[in-house]
Amino acid sequence: MRLGTRRSALALAQAEIVAGLIGDCEIVPIVTSGDRGAREGDKSRWVGELEQALQSGEIDIAVHSAKDLPGGLAEGLALLGA
C-alpha cells in the first residue's frame, strides 16, 4: 500500500504513525502548491495534489490534517478520521 502525505515534518510524523498501524506500506511524500508558496486560493492548495495522486492511482491512501481540508473532497474520495 502506498500512503501519500505532504513533506512537512508534521505530515511525515502523522504518516509514520498511520503506517505503523497499517503495517506493510510505503510513505510517498508529495509537494503541494501550498508547500510551494502559493498565496492564492483556499485550503485546496494543501490537498489538491494529494487528491490527484489518489485519483490517478499513484497512492492508495493519503494522511492529512483535517484542519487543512476544504469543505468538500473531490468526487470518488472519502474521509476516514481517527
Domains, the chain, in order of start with CATH, read 2-67 (3.40.190.10)
pLDDT of residue 38: 54
pLDDT of residue 27: 97
| Residue in this structure with the C-alpha cell 498511520, named with its chain if needed | 18
pLDDT of residue 55: 92
CA atoms within 13 A on the CB side of 2: 13
At 43-73, the pLDDT tens digits run 666 678 888 999 999 999 998 777 766 666 6
At 12-42, the pLDDT tens digits run 999 999 999 999 999 999 988 776 765 555 6
